[in-house]
Amino acid sequence: MSQNVTQSDIVAAKNRIQQYIRRTPLDFSPFLTKLNKNGPNVYLKMESEQFSGSFKVRGAYNKLCVLLESDSELKSKGAVAASSGNHALGCTIAMKRLGIPIQVFTPENVSLAKKKMLEAYDANLVLHGLDVVDTEHEARRLSEEKGIPFISPYNDVDVVAGLGTIGMEIYEDLSEVDAVLVSVGGGGLISGIASYLKAINPNIKVFGCQPELTKVMYESVRAGKIVFEESGDTLSDGTKGGIEDDSVTFELCRKHVDDWLLVTEEQIAEAVYFMLDKHHKVVEGAAGAAVAAYTNNLAVFSRFSNVAIVICGANMTSDHLHKIMLKYGCKKNPSE
């Protein structure tokens, strides 16, 4: 399956969802800027400040709004969604606002922070499987069985268009941006952002960031086909897991992502602490992966003038955060 997401698709998504979402700030980071002597100005797109604590609510709202436009019975029959946590939470928030009943599936090993958030919003939650691909397959089975829509976290052009509104906001706030770093799991976020930015200015470089322990999209792009690779245990649980065989994001990533940067668990943890220590922001591991990709590849970005890093979420478990603080809080920040 090969489908494009156009600039007009993303503009239409913005018009649909802007009344429901928060336009998140694009904050200048003096700390990251000073790390790279004579390098670029660095800005942080704070989707961690979004409703639900992550970017996922944008895609959920756009897909559900599109469905409402074409299906008058949606509010009675409902929908089903699946994700590693953040998309499930985004769908839960969107469905409560729009009045659509929805059942959400997450892996059995969903992070405690995301599970507690889902429970706080009274999500109709089902735990299934250990890999998000298995979770999605079960949710799709139920969708087909009951004849109700499945809201994919990434494999849907309407979801991707909703996420592309982040790229639109980045460009509106900083038209001089010439490089953007985005964490990648299934590829919906980077596909949407890159689709918009490349349409506006093909010279803007887009970098995909993944943990070394779960890098399915990176390996798939390298292989020229979607591959299966076992995912390891990672702080970046929001990007963990495989990709559906027919995912629209695979071709979008092949087309629009200029380069890939892999990071270690140590580097992700350091980046999470960096954000807490310097910016006083709690960010999840997936957001730390994008920050780590910058701090550990300073030479790559020396040729740019303005770099934006997408801080994709804030849903970090207190246990993981406590361990990171104990490890790095008692010694000089390794990024200094």
The region that residue 278 occupies, defined by phi over 0 for left and psi between -120 and 50 for alpha, beta otherwise, is alpha
Same domain membership, residue 181 and residue 307: yes
Residues 292, 323, single domain; the answer is yes
Contacts 24+ apart (CB under 8 A), 70-75: 71/149, 74/100, 74/149, 75/99, 75/100, 75/101
334: pLDDT strictly greater than 50 = no
Among 163, 218, 233, residue whose Cα is nearest residue 13: 163
Together in a domain, 228 and 96:
no
Q: What is the pLDDT of residue 330?
A: 59
Q: What is the pLDDT of residue 1?
A: 44
Spatial separation of the C-alpha atoms in residues 165 and 62, rounded to whole Å: 10
Average pLDDT for residues 48-64, to the nearest whole number?
Answer: 94
For the cut 50, the answer to whether the pLDDT of residue 184 exceeds it is: yes
Cβ(55)–Cβ(91) under 8 Å?
A: no
What pLDDT does 331 receive? Answer: 58
Distance between CA 225 and CA 309 in Å, rounded?
27
pLDDT at 102 over 80: yes
Q: Are 320 and 235 in contact (CB under 8 A)?
A: yes
pLDDT at residue 322, rounded to an integer: 85
Domain that holds residue 316: 7-54+158-328
Write out pLDDT tens, residues 130-182: 877 788 889 999 999 999 999 998 999 999 999 999 999 999 999 999 999 99
Q: How many domains does the chain have?
A: 2
What would the pLDDT profile of 191-221 be if each residue is shown by its tens digit?
999 999 999 999 999 999 999 999 999 999 9
Tell me how far CA of residue 19 lies from CA of 58, 147, 305, 313, in angstroms. Answer: 11, 29, 33, 20
pTM assigned to the model: 0.92
Burial of 25 (0-12, 13-18, 19+ CB in 10 A): middle
Of 155, 177, 196, which residue sits at a domain end?
Answer: 155
Any domain includes 334: no
> Would 199 be classed as within a structural domain?
yes
Pair 65, 77 in one domain:
yes
By the 10 Å C-beta count (0-12 exposed, 13-18 middle, 19+ buried), 319 is classed as exposed
Q: Which of 155, 170, 203 is the last residue of a domain?
A: 155
The whole-number pLDDT of residue 301 equals 98
pLDDT of residue 285: 94
Q: Is residue 335 part of a domain?
A: no
Indicate whether 168 belongs to any domain: yes
Of 67-76, 78-87, 164-173, the one with minimum mean pLDDT is 78-87
Q: Given a cut of 60, is residue 332 above it in pLDDT? A: no
Is residue 1 in some structural domain?
no
Higher pLDDT, 133 or 32: 32
Query: What confidence tens digit (pLDDT) does each residue in 309-323 have?
Result: 999 999 887 888 888
Q: Are 213 and 267 a contacting pair, CB within 8 Å?
A: no
121 pLDDT more than 50 = yes
CATH, residue 188: 3.40.50.1100
User: Which one, of 61, 139, 131, 133, lies nearest residue 99 by Cα?
Assistant: 61
For the chain, what is the mean pLDDT?
Answer: 92
Give the span between the Cα atoms of 209 and 239, in whole angstroms: 10
Instruction: Please answer whether residues 233 and 269 qualify as being in contact, where contact means their C-beta atoms are separated by less than 8 angstroms.
Output: no
What is the rounded CA–CA span in Å between residue 38 and residue 161? 35
Q: Which residue has the higher pLDDT, 115 or 162?
A: 162
**Tokens, residue 138:** 């079960």
pLDDT more than 90, % of the chain:
71
Q: Is the pLDDT of residue 278 over 80?
A: yes
Structural domain contains residue 229: yes
Amino acid at 61: Y
Of 121, 155, 189, which residue constitutes the final position of a domain?
A: 155
The pLDDT of residue 336 is 47
- Using alpha carbons, list the distances in angstroms from residue 83 to 143, 152, 189, 239, 301: 15, 8, 14, 10, 32
Answer yes or no: do 125 and 99 share one domain: yes
Same domain, 298 and 190: yes
For residue 269, the model assigns a pLDDT of 94
- Structural domain includes residue 200: yes
**CA atoms within 13 Å, Cβ hemisphere of 169:** 27
Helix (H), strand (E) at residue 259 = strand 259-263
